[in-house]
Each structure stands twice: as C-alpha cells, then as structure tokens.
C-alpha cells in the first residue's frame, strides 16, 4: 500500500513495482491535478453520488468525461461545425 498525493493505492501482488514506477506517465497527470499546491487539495462539501439503474459501463462512461458520445449521438455537433473528426458521422 502506498499513498500518492493523498490517494491510497493497494495491491495484493508482492512482486508489484513501486507505485511511481507503476503509474508511469500517469503520475504526471496526477501531479498536475493534485500537486498544484504544497498543502494539497481540499474537498469542499460532500461528494456527489448517483444511483444509475443501468449496466455499470453506462454509468461509468456517462460520468467520466464521455467525450466520444458527443459526435456520435448529437447530430447538432456536425451542423454547427463543432467537431473536426469525420469518423463518427453516419
């Protein structure tokens, strides 16, 4: 078990590499988000929680950025020219 910017990571694999090694390039992003202030990140208020009556992937996809669905489900993205990619157009 190791902590990185207050986030706790654990593994049951006794041969796992050190956390920083395992994170690789992702450590840079965690530094960017959580390492901006010497005092760390402070949570303001209670976390938001949602109950989604669906396959877990639907909830995870919809609450984790969900960028890919914009061009495939919302035709208006094409009509206003907000997408550069043509691969999602049907």
What are the structural domain ranges in the chain? Answer: 2-34, 48-90
Tell me the pLDDT band of 68, cut-offs 50, 70 and 90.
Answer: low
Residue closest to 8 by CA, chosen among 34, 38, 29, 32: 34
- How open is the CA angle 74-75-78, to the nearest 5 degrees? 115
Q: How far is CA 82 from the centre of its chain?
A: 23
End-to-end CA distance of the chain: 47
- Does the predicted model carry a pTM greater than 0.85? no
Q: What is the pLDDT of residues 11-56, one digit of tens each?
A: 999 999 999 999 999 999 899 888 888 887 777 888 888 777 877 7
């Amino acid at each position: 078990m190791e902590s990185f910017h207050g986030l706790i990571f654990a593994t049951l694999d006794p041969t796992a590499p050190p956390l920083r090694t395992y994170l690789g390039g992702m450590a840079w992003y965690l530094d960017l988000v959580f390492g901006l202030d010497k005092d760390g990140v402070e949570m303001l208020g209670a976390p938001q929680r949602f109950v989604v009556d669906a396959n877990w992937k639907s909830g995870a996809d919809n609450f984790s950025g969900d960028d890919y669905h914009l061009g495939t489900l919302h035709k208006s993205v094409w009509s206003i020219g907000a997408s550069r990619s043509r691969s999602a157009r049907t």
